[in-house]
Structure 1
Amino acid sequence: MLAALLRKITRNPARNAPASFLARLRRDRRGNTLAMMAAAMVPMIGFAGSAVDMSRLYVVKVRLQQACDAGVLASRKAMTDTSISTPLETAASTQGQTFFSNNFRTGWFANQTPTFTQAKASVNTDPTVANGVSGTATVNVPMAMMGFFGVQTKQIRVTCQAVFDMADTDVMFVLDTTGSMSCVPSAALNCANGISSYTRSDGTTGYYNVESSGSKLEALRQAVILFDSTIRSSSDPNTKYRYGFVTYSSAVNVGRLIPRQYLQSNVTYQTRRIIGDYNYGGTYYQEFSNDYNSCPRGQTVRRPVTGYARSSQWFGDDGYYQARNYSVYWNNGKCAATAQPLRPLWRYGPANWDTTVFLNSISSGSPAADDPTRLDGSTSRWTGCVEELDTTTGSSFSVTSLPDDLNPDSKPTTATNLWRPMWADATWQRDGTAEQDVKDDAIGGDSSWGSPSYNYSYRSGGYMSGNGFISCGMPAQKLKVMTAQNVRDYVYDADFKALGGTYHDVGMIWGARMISQDGIFAADTARWPGRKDPQRTIVFMTDGNMAPNRPIYGLWGVEQNANRTGGATDDGTNYDNHVARFRVVCDAAKRKGVTIYVVALGTAITPDLTYCASPGQTYQASSTQQLTDAFRNIAQRIAMLRIAS
């Protein structure tokens, strides 16, 4: 056995040699896991380190993108120069840089040297127009773990872009053109310059308050034009937008826009009519002829047979309209008579007049209508203002159950409840709501103020029309696509003038009606084929508080006589009723998805104006510059500043 062991040793001499460290380590299994773990740490550090640093890079990049977006949004909002050929103005660039820095702090996650650059951009619009701001942001981020593998710093770069862009949009301007708009913005609220007459574009006589240099009306013109230019610079070629205009005071000029089927052909006015004759003065003797056979002996003959005349073969011209009753008899070979002069007895109150010819007279070339309240052959033409549909008196209304005159969606079908043409020449004042009988010789002139009130109609040339008690302003404009020149032409039209008292409800009723997608103008407000519904907006501008005046002839007739709104005898009640109407129509418009912006020029934002506006959409301006700024800001909001996708 010993011999065999010796032979084995001899055949394997290496077994007797000292073993190396690695050999011993390979054969020795004690503590092997420690070595294996140590070897595995290198790739594990790589995996874990990359996960940690990639997470850090992701968080930093997200924050950098947010800061970049905030910067260009702020910059674009502050940018006023939209020419692509000029650099981004300093104010806008500074605003953008400030927002970027506030949203991305140096040193956060150990970041280093963040940068943010901005430039104007033209996005899907006229290449010469800058409607956007583009930005680029970079930052260096040191690696927390990957430095072990030689990756010390990683740079992150993001881009961003903000543009003014807009959906299809309808904008209805509801503009106060009352008498105080003729004054400068710093003038007192009750300011109104002197009134003068002019020839309207339709050939009739109109009146207006003479504008001061730098008037509120001129500020309004500039603001509307700037609004339009802001919208144009913010929209791309595919954007559709339409404008409409309602100028208001105590009435609105919408007659040319209302389809004829909705206009009433027999209307009850606060007017006067002849109800008979009365004897005027004493009788006298008159001879006619010596023809016995042609003498109507024993009869009383009226001349003229019907109506009245200033002069005829029967009697001389005494300067007024008269008739005569002749009690005829034969006297000493002559046909003679005892003559009794007659004059008309007028009844002041509601009366119905056929308006067919009067409605047609608005068209050029159509004949004027005879004035049924005068004997001198006077005629008149309709200038386009209307009286409202039937209504409910009082100061409490439900937006879900509105009377016809307050409903933006009204489509009247009853022949006795359609819109009525305002007939100023045929409308007369009287004391109170009761009818009043007046002898013709008791009626004086109406060129200057005096009493009694029945002297006064609202005709051109009279005291009432010459002092703003009736105002029929610039014809309204339905929603339509308008060029920049169209907009300028509208606000600088010869009829775009100031006159009359402030009735906010009048303007808002017709502004809401003309933008409603369900009323008589639905065809004008419909979406474009193949496109979504437009966003609908009312821009309501006024320079004063509600100021109804009961003797004014306006949308509800002469309120002190007709009492259609319930405030005929009390100014406070009249005011409350009109405020209630204004508020509920604002509710009705907003309920239909219309956004209402309210701008007050030279006056405070009252609780009623705040109530009317959509939340946060009121602006107060005390100067032309502030008014134009307000209109620009509204246009920018409508244009929807956004991040470009």
Structure 2
Amino acid sequence: MLGFAIVQRLLRDRAGNTFMIVAAAIAPLLALVGGGIDMGRTYISETRLQQACDAGVLAARKALGSQVVTTGAVPDEVSLAGNRFFNVNFRSGAYGSTDRTFTMTLESDYSISGKASANVPTTIMRVFGKNNVPVAVQCEAKLNFSNTDVMMVLDTTGSMNQTNSGDSQPKIAVLRQVVKNFHTQLEASKSPGVRIRYGFVPYSANVNVGYLLKSRWMADGWDYEGRVSVDTGKVETVTKYKYTYTYMSGAKTTLASYSASTCPGDTATWEMIAYGSGSGYEVWDTRVNGTTYSCANADPGVTVTGTSYSNYVYRTLKQQNGTETKQVYKWQYKPVTIDVSGFKDSDPDKPYVGGSVWVRMMGDPTPYPDYMSATFKGCIEERATYQITDYANVDLSKALDLDIDLVPDPSKPNTQWKPILHEISFLRAWKPTGGSWSKSPVTTTDNYMQASNYGLTACPSPAHKLAAMTSTEIASYVDNLKAEGNTYHDIGMIWGGRLLSPTGIFADENADINGSPTTRHLIFLTDGETAPLDLSYASYGVEPLSQRRWSSSSKFSLTQTVENRFTFACNEVKKKNITVWVIGFGTQMTDMLKNCAGDGHWFQADDASQLSKAFDKIAKSMGDLRIIK
């Protein structure tokens, strides 16, 4: 009973109750306050960890180059860059954390994803047995592209067959691979619904764009630096010859005929490999490789037949075979008007068809001139222009070649382009042993130099209009680039601008789509300085004879003329809101090239590795690098 009484007395006595209540509440209060403090630290740590993760994957994606395209592995320098930025933003032991981790993964779309984690120590919560709070974040960075057009103007002159110091392949082979990697990198980074198109303008002394042009943009006739036979009114007794052709070795195959939109250019090369002569005869062996084509108009397009040669060797025996009386002819070397209207499609809005014409310009004038075939291979002569003396005040009503948006008017032949016919260009008053130029006609029995017989009228690989292209299509195109000819930078820039401009001859194809703006980039790559040759038959004819943009009495040298026109054309391209990039591959960048591109837009690449890095930087600058997770 005594114990029960004590309890009742305690229940009735409330003195000290407050102390007991406070004592009982201290523990949960400490847990609440301590948890808030520790959670605040944890939140700050998690926020900072997220920022570090974002910084890491952004740096890694920015550093990601085309090496990953070919090897499938993230290069070491990419991992180093990502970890460096992560470490700077969340140092080891930050906020007292332990067990810090950061890993990056290359995703299938070439984005870089990351995971970061750390254990953040507690303070007051430690009393309750909670020593650490684990935090973990995820992040991902991707290079995104809007609608983009990329025009690559590529120097494919003969020097591209050379190999840079430190490389194991010729420059043209390196370029092929780098372009493939560049395409793969851009395609892997684009989002659904985004259009990326690619175009190409290989250039040397001229460009091969003829089959991209509408028939009505090409002239019906043109004056070529050729020759005609002139009857002297005399006759003479001359030796007759008999020709005998004998197969020696190799293969010749007739190809099945097929239909095409345009006539392909011949790829065959003819090489004399042996020669001999004796009393009353000459004999020589010729080796042929490649393919020759013949085309017949078949509206629409053409019917193509061809012959393929593989180390085909035949012998020609020229024997005296009596005499005959013939009229005596001489050659008159002068501009000769040739009708090329047959090269057009019957529909003026369809692409140029091309073909061949027969002209009487071959053989010896005595006893009798022979007919020869002149074939269009895709290269063109430029439209009207003039010899500019002040490039700060160019008259585009006269320099129609420098107006990159001007659409040809069939009623104004000066606005139209003309087909280059390589076989009928003769270097008037020039011989293999030398000579002097003659603007006036020259009548002689001499055979002056024919540009095509001396490698002075190279025609680059065909240009390619802007189009969405698969990796297979890109590979097929760049693997067929050939390197030959001299370096004329201006014609490459002019046609790169024409094919890329949204307001020029291809405005309907190059306009923005679906209300979304298109970013436009022109990548100009060269491996050498300007190197024109006055002997060449190119986009402005034979320069000393045609004298359309330059003559020996011009204010500027031919090299200066080409470079001044390049600079003017580059500025015209940039006026179209086109970003110009310039790469010097295995050559020193000149002020002309640097000024065309502008600061931050030119690169000097001395070898394959530096060229790859230049294209990587261009790709990154073209895209929008952002966090997507």
How does the TM-score come out when normalised to structure 2? 0.69
Structure 1 range deviating more: 248-257 or 163-172: 163-172
1:412 equivalenced with 2:408 (yes/no): yes
How far the C-alpha of 1:115 sits from its partner, in A, is 2.9
CA distance in 2, matches of 1:430, 1:560: 10
Give the secondary structure class of the aligned counterpart of 2:491: helix
Residue pairs, 1:63-142, within 5 angstroms: 63-79=48-64, 90-106=76-92, 110-113=95-98, 115-120=100-105, 122=107, 129-138=108-117
What amino acid sits opposite 1:436 in the alignment?
A: S
Q: Which secondary structure does the structure 2 equivalent of 1:416 belong to?
A: helix
Contact 1:231 1:636 in 2 (8 A): no
Q: What is the SS of the residue equivalent to 1:600?
A: strand
Name the aligned partner's letter for residue 51 of structure 2. Answer: Q
How far residue 116 of structure 1 moved from its aligned partner, in angstroms, is: 4.3
Q: Which residue of 376, 383, 393 maps to 2:377? A: 383
- The 3-state SS of whatever aligns with 1:473 is coil
For 1:230 and 1:373, the matched residues in 2 are separated by 52
Pairwise CA distance, 1:111: 4.9
CA contact (8 A) 1:358 1:381 kept: no
Q: Deviations over 1:308-327 (max 9, x none)?
A: xxxxxxx9646xxx64xxxx
Q: Distance in 1 between matches of 2:597 and 2:124?
A: 57
Which residue of the partner structure matches residue 425 of structure 2? 427
Matched, 1:230 2:185: yes
**In 2, are the aligned partners of 1:390 and 1:417 still within 8 Å (CA)?**
yes
Q: How large is the Cα RMSD of the aligned pairs?
A: 4.3
Q: Is the 8 A contact 2:104 2:115 kept in 1?
A: no
- 1:254 is displaced (CA, Å) by 0.5
**Alignment of structure 1 residues 541-552 onto 2, 5 Å:** 541-552=525-536
In 2 relative to 1, CA 267–89 (structure 1 residues): closer, same or farther, beyond 3 Å?
closer
| 1:499 aligned to which of 480, 484, 488 | 484
Q: Which of the numbers 524, 530, 534 marks the counterpart of 1:540? A: 524
**Cα distance, 1:280–1:629 mapped onto 2, change above 3 Å:** farther
**TM-fit CA distance, 1:411:** 0.7
Distance 1:577 1:61, change over 3 A: farther
Alignment correspondent of 1:290: none
**Counterpart contact for 2:208–2:461, Cα < 8 Å:** yes
Aligned to 1:269, which of 224, 234, 251? 224
Question: Hey, what's the Cα distance between the residues in 2 that align with 1:409 and 1:511?
Answer: 12
User: Aligned partners of 2:54, 2:393: CA distance in 1, in Å?
Assistant: 42
Secondary structure in 2 aligned to 1:599?
Answer: strand
Give the equivalent residue in structure 2 for 1:327.
none
> Once structures 1 and 2 are overlaid, which stretch shifts more, 74-83 or 532-541?
74-83
SS of alignment partner, residue 346 of structure 1 = strand
Higher strand share: 2
Give the share of equivalent positions with the same residue, in percent.
33
Measure how far apart 1:482 and its partner are.
Answer: 1.5
1:457 to 450, 453, 456: 450
Quote how far apart the aligned CAs of 1:425 are.
2.5
TM-fit CA distance, 1:513:
0.8
By how many angstroms is 1:440 displaced? 3.6
- Tell me by how many angstroms 1:139 deviates: 5.3
Residue of 208, 219, 222 corresponding to 1:253: 208
Give CA-to-partner distance per residue, 1:420-479, whole Å, 9 cap, x none. Answer: 1112223222257753343342x13xxxxxxxxxx1233x4x23xxx3x11112111111
Aligned residue for 2:140? Answer: 161
Q: Is the 8 A contact 1:359 1:421 kept in 2?
A: no
Which amino acid in 2 is paired with 1:346? Q
CA offsets 1:108-149 (integer angstroms, 9 cap, x no match): 6x4533834233253xxxxxx251122233456678999999
SS at structure 2 position matched to 1:500 = coil
Amino acid at match of 1:370: W
Question: Secondary structure of the equivalent of 1:506?
Answer: helix
Q: What runs of 5+ residues in structure 1 fail to find an aligned partner? A: 1-19, 23-44, 123-128, 188-211, 284-314, 324-341, 445-454
Alpha-carbon distance in structure 1 between the residues aligned to 2:492 and 2:71: 42
1:253 Cα offset (Å): 0.6
CA contact (8 A) 1:247 1:476 kept: yes
Tell me which amino acid in the other structure corresponds to 1:113: T
Question: Which amino acid is the alignment partner of residue 57 of structure 2?
Answer: V
The CA deviation at 1:643 is 1.9
The amino acid of 2:140's aligned partner reads Q
Deviates more, 1:383-392 or 1:50-59: 50-59
Superposed CA offset, 1:166-193 (max 9, x none): 2222111111111111121239xxxxxx
What SS does the corresponding residue of 1:541 show, helix, strand or coil? strand
The one-letter amino acid of 1:244's match is G
**Paired residues for 1:303-314 under 5 Å:** none
Please tell me whether the aligned partners of residues 215 and 345 of structure 2 are also in contact (alpha carbons under 8 angstroms): no
Mean CA deviation greater in 263-272 or 79-88: 79-88
Q: 1:85 & 1:410 partners in 2: Cα distance?
A: 46
1:278 aligns with 2:232: yes
Q: Unmatched 5+ residue regions in structure 2?
A: 1-13, 17-29, 238-321, 363-368, 430-435
Asked if the contact 1:114/1:137 (under 8 Å) is kept, the reply is no
Q: Are 1:436 and 2:440 an aligned pair? A: yes
Letter of the structure 2 residue corresponding to residue 98 of structure 1: R
Q: Deviations over 1:368-424 (max 9, x none)?
A: 312254541212221111011112322643599643212221212123320111122
- Code of the residue aligned with 1:278 in structure 2: it is T
- Residue number in structure 2 paired with 1:369: 357
CA distance change for structure 1 residues 70 and 364 in 2, over 3 Å: closer, same or farther? closer
Q: Report the number of matched residues.
A: 505
Partner of 1:195: none
Q: Say if 2:383 and 2:414, in contact at 8 Å, map to a contact too.
A: no
Distance, in Å, in 2 between the alignment partners of 1:569 and 1:415 is 27
User: How has the CA–CA distance of structure 1 residues 214 and 367 changed in structure 2, closer, same or farther, with 3 Å as cutoff?
Assistant: closer
Match of 1:515 in 2: 500
Counterpart-to-counterpart distance in 1, 2:493 and 2:148: 19
2:603 pairs, out of 604, 619, 623, with 619
SS at match of 2:404: coil
What SS class does the counterpart of residue 119 from structure 1 fall into? strand
What displacement does 1:623 show? 2.5
1:270-289 per-residue CA deviation (whole Å, 9 max, x = no partner) reads: 33346x64355899xxxxxx
1:66 Cα deviation from its structure 2 partner: 3.2
More off after superposition, 354-363 vs 87-96: 354-363
What residue in structure 1 maps to residue 304 of structure 2? none
- The question of whether the paired residues in 1 share the 8 Å contact of 2:161 and 2:483 is answered with yes
Contact 2:153 2:525 in 1 (8 A): yes
1:609 maps to what in 2?
A: 593
Instruction: Give the direction of change, closer, same or farther, for the CA distance of 1:594–1:222 in structure 2 (3 Å limit).
Output: same
**CA offset digits 1:498-554 (Å, max 9, x no partner):** 1110011111111111111111122332334x2513221222221111111112111
The one-letter amino acid paired with 2:194 is T
Measured in 2, the distance between the counterparts of 1:84 and 1:163 equals 19
1:343, distance to aligned residue in structure 2 (A):
2.7
* Distance apart, 1:574 and its partner CA: 1.3
1:306 corresponds to which residue? none
* 8 A Cα contact 2:144 2:191, kept in partner: yes
CA contact (8 A) 1:87 1:120 kept: no
Q: Distance in 2 between matches of 1:264 and 1:83?
A: 46
